[in-house]
């Protein structure tokens, strides 16, 4: 009978039995080295142990909790990576933990389940960790969008995984924005209120700015800044007209990152895209072509 065992050796998990190494590798696990040895990633080893297909030892046989604790000390992201790995296995994906982008921080490579599907690279993340756009941009530049795609598997506090596909796009719309209006708005904390007496209604009806209720249009701070930049809206506070720099400083009280958000908002508007600022599904904007 083949001994189903692997040893934790420094920061690696190694299967020394050649027959078992070849069997596991043929099933898509690990990578072979030194003529008959198999290196498993910690998530692969944990998964096989959980399925009762492998025992793990260092100087003695270890229990599952001990193995999980050791791997978590080796890699602070281990817990989230394992949850994503196990979820993808349940979904029927063949997963490679050793692949071309591993050293750049990409966690997994998946083979497609359907002919028309592209190869998939997966990055694991916790919903509470910072999402670094620069990393995602770097990854998208490294893959071939014709045959590969990038997913981020986000683990929430209940251990549920949500997958987001990341790709570079060039938004371009045909939206015709309002022109030739001149409106007055009153700043009320984090909103600007515009009385919809006549042509002002076009802000909502044609431009889809804000929300209309009881003859008033409630415009978000970002929308107000953009309309000010186009000379369409004057914003007043305590009967005094504000300039854009003053409105930005006031807005930071409610949205500290408003300058960054505004750059994105303005870029989308200049691409003739209709942009709504109401939050939905955790996003900053909704964009319509």
Domains along the chain with CATH numbers? 5-74 (3.40.1170.20), 78-166 (3.40.1350.10), 183-288 (3.40.1170.20)
- Residue 242 has what DSSP assignment? P
Task: Check: CB of residue 224 under 8 Å from CB of residue 243.
Answer: no
Q: Report percent pLDDT > 90 for the chain.
A: 83
Signed CA dihedral, 62, 65, 69, 74: sign only? positive
Report the predicted TM-score, pTM, of the whole model to 2 decimal places: 0.78
- Residue 209 has what DSSP assignment? -
Q: Name residues whose C-beta falls within 8 Å of residue 215's C-beta, 6 or more positions apart in sequence.
A: 195, 196, 197
pLDDT category at 113 given cuts 50, 70, 90 is confident
pLDDT at 281 over 70: no
Average pLDDT, the chain: 93
**Alpha carbons 60 and 225: distance in angstroms, whole number:** 65
| Helices 78-90 and 64-74: angle between axes, nearest 10 degrees | 120
Predicted local confidence at residue 83, as pLDDT: 98
pLDDT category at 140 given cuts 50, 70, 90 is very high
Backbone phi and psi for residue 198, each to the nearest 5 degrees, phi listed first? -150, -110
Beta strands in the chain (DSSP E): 5-9, 12-15, 31-33, 37-40, 55-57, 94-96, 108-111, 119-126, 148-155, 161-166, 183-188, 191-195, 211-213, 216-220, 233-237, 240-241, 274-276, 286-288
pLDDT category at 7 given cuts 50, 70, 90 is very high
**Alpha carbons 141 and 129: distance in angstroms, whole number:** 23
Please choose, from the candidates 262, 261, 265, the residue with its C-alpha nearest in 3D space to the C-alpha of residue 275: 265
Task: Check: CB of residue 165 under 8 Å from CB of residue 151.
Answer: yes
Predicted local confidence at residue 280, as pLDDT: 61
Predicted local confidence at residue 2, as pLDDT: 60
| Long-range CB contacts for residues 64-73, cutoff 8 Å, separation at least 24 | 67/8, 70/8, 71/42, 71/43, 71/45, 71/46
| Tens digit of each residue's pLDDT (9 = 90 or more) over 120-129 | 999 999 998 8
**Alpha carbons 44 and 226: distance in angstroms, whole number:** 51
Q: Name residues whose C-beta falls within 8 Å of residue 15's C-beta, 6 or more positions apart in sequence.
A: 5, 6, 21, 24, 30, 37, 38, 39, 40
Cα-to-chain-centroid distance, residue 236: 38
């Amino acid at each position: 009978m083949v001994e189903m065992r692997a040893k934790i050796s420094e920061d690696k998990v190694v299967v020394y039995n050649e027959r078992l190494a070849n069997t596991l590798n043929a099933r898509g696990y690990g990578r072979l080295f030194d003529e008959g040895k198999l290196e498993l990633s910690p998530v692969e080893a944990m998964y096989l142990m959980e399925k009762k297909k492998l025992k793990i030892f260092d100087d003695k046989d270890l229990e599952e909790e001990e193995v999980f604790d050791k791997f978590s000390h080796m890699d602070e992201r281990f817990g989230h990576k394992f949850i994503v790995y196990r979820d993808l296995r349940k979904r029927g994906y063949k997963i490679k933990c050793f692949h071309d982008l591993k050293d750049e921080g990409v966690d997994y490579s998946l083979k497609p389940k359907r002919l028309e599907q592209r190869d998939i690279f997966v990055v694991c993340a916790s919903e509470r960790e910072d999402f670094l756009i620069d990393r995602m941009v770097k990854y998208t530049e490294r893959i071939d969008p014709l045959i590969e795609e990038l997913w981020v598997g986000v683990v929430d506090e209940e251990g549920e995984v949500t997958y987001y596909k990341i790709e570079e796009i060039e938004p371009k719309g045909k939206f015709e924005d309002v022109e030739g209006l001149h409106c007055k708005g009153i700043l009320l904390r984090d909103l600007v209120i515009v009385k919809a007496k006549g042509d002002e209604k076009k802000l909502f009806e044609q431009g889809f700015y804000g929300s209309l209720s009881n003859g008033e249009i409630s415009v978000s701070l970002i929308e107000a800044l953009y309309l000010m930049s186009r000379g369409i809206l004057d914003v007043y506070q305590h009967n005094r007209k504000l300039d854009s720099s003053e409105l930005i400083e006031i807005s930071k009280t409610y949205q500290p990152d408003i300058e960054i958000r505004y750059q994105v908002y303005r870029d989308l508007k200049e691409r003739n895209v209709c942009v709504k600022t109401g939050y939905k599904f955790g996003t900053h904007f909704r964009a319509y072509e």
